[in-house]
Amino acid sequence: MWSSRKWSDFEVIDCSEGEKLERWGSYLLVRPDPQVIWNTPKTHAGWRRPDAHYHRSKKGGGEWEFFDLPEQWSIRYGSLTFQLKPFSFKHTGLFPEQAVNWDWFSEKIKKAGRPVRVLNLFAYTGGATLAAAAAGANVTHVDASKGMVAWAKENAAVSGLADAPIRWIVDDCVKFAEREIRRGKRYDAVIMDPPSYGRGPKGETWKLENSVYPLIQTCAELLSENPLFFLVNAYTTGLQPAVLAYMLGSVLGKYGGVITASEIGLPVRTSGLFLPCGASGRFEIN
């Protein structure tokens, strides 16, 4: 399992009975997690005194119960700063497990010895965008949500990257990639973090299992003659790392390079286990 051990402002303290106790900066949050199907004693004091608790509803969704959590706060990862706030659906605006991928491609960008153009699709609040830009890449950040792109810009500003070469695009990611092909644009690296399920601008259904392979094929057409890496993240339970590796290999094998895939996760302080948080597939030229 790939996991980052470099966080100081975030940690999973404990997990049991379908929930995880996390520290985000100086605040303790209890949130549901479908992977936590075991039942161990909740002995840590944070379980009894969190700053916020997201309660899952049996009818779907859920709601926050707030005790002492501000409307917005921030945490740092290395030189990057991220603004956080509680979403209506349990999220905070950041997926800390992705730091292991940020570290991986940041090193590749720094060692490339040439200008690197990165396309980040489904870019959310900009974690990967900021990491790539801080490493020296020219990044095109694409997300269909205007609010998320605005949030990502805020994260860039507080991280000292307001003037970094980042192109901010509010658009449907698939349509944007198709237009970039017609425009003759090329990128040295592609990052994609597509949702498990969603709807397009005209109501069309997006289901990851059906859509991710055609999207990889489309984005492969955007790669330059000397690509550096290609990263696919998946949070769909049934999409195993081996499947990601096979898809990348079947599309990008012509470039040579190395293809790897693994679960990504987060260490749990009290138990020493690693909490699975999805999977990632990587293609890279060494």
Instruction: Retrieve residue 44's tokens.
Output: 């840590």
Is 203 a residue whose pLDDT tops 80?
A: no
Instruction: Retrieve residue 66's tokens.
Output: 């707030």
Q: What is the pLDDT of residue 201?
A: 57
Q: Using one digit for the tens of pLDDT, what is the confidence trace for 244-257?
A: 999 999 999 889 99
Burial of 196 (0-12, 13-18, 19+ CB in 10 A): middle
User: How confident is the model over 155-173, as a mean pLDDT?
Assistant: 97
User: How confident is the model over 150-161, as a mean pLDDT?
Assistant: 98
Nearest to 14 by CA among 41, 54, 53: 41
Q: Using one digit for the tens of pLDDT, what is the confidence trace for 29-62?
A: 999 999 999 999 999 999 999 999 999 887 778 9
Distance CA 157, CA 82 (A): 10
Nearest to 224 by CA among 189, 197, 256, 199: 189
Domains of the chain, residue spans: 2-84, 96-284
120 sits in which H/E element: strand 117-121
Q: What is the pLDDT of residue 151?
A: 97
Distance CA 276, CA 286 (A): 27
Q: Which residues 6+ apart lie within 8 Å of 9 measured at CB? A: 24, 25, 75, 76, 77
**Angstrom distances, CA of residue 122 to CA of 20, 136, 143, 227:** 26, 21, 5, 20
Q: What is the pLDDT of residue 210?
A: 78
Mean pLDDT, the chain, as a whole number? 94
Is 18 a residue whose pLDDT tops 60?
A: yes
**Angstrom distances, CA of residue 191 to CA of 94, 202, 272:** 16, 24, 30
Q: Using one digit for the tens of pLDDT, what is the confidence trace for 68-117?
A: 999 999 999 999 999 999 998 899 999 999 999 999 999 999 999 999 99
Q: Which position has the higher pLDDT, 199 or 235? A: 235
Is 157 a residue whose pLDDT tops 60?
A: yes
User: How confident is the model over 276-282, as a mean pLDDT?
Assistant: 96
User: How confident is the model over 148-159, as a mean pLDDT?
Assistant: 98
Provide the percentage of residues in the chain whose pLDDT is more than 90.
86
Is 264 a residue whose pLDDT tops 80?
A: yes
Q: Give the position of tokens 């303790």.
A: 28
User: How confident is the model over 220-242, as a mean pLDDT?
Assistant: 93
Is 200 a residue whose pLDDT tops 80?
A: no
**Angstrom distances, CA of residue 208 to CA of 91, 127, 142, 198:** 20, 21, 18, 9
Q: What is the pLDDT of residue 208?
A: 74
Q: What are the strands of the beta sheet with 27-32, ordered from one edge? A: 10-16, 19-24, 27-32, 52-56, 62-66
CATH architecture, domain 2-84: Sandwich (2.60)
User: How confident is the model over 181-205, as a mean pLDDT?
Assistant: 84
User: How confident is the model over 190-204, as a mean pLDDT?
Assistant: 76
- Cβ atoms of residues 69 and 87 within 8 Å: no
Q: Does 96-284 match 2-84 at the fold level? A: no
Distance CA 274, CA 194 (A): 23
pLDDT band at 241 (very low <50, low <70, confident <90, very high): very high
User: How confident is the model over 154-179, as a mean pLDDT?
Assistant: 97
Q: What is the pLDDT of residue 286?
A: 83
Distance CA 274, CA 264 (A): 9
- Its CATH class, for the domain covering 96-284, is alpha beta
Residues of 226-243 as b/e, b for ≥16 C-beta within 10 angstroms? Answer: ebbbbbbbbbbeebebeb
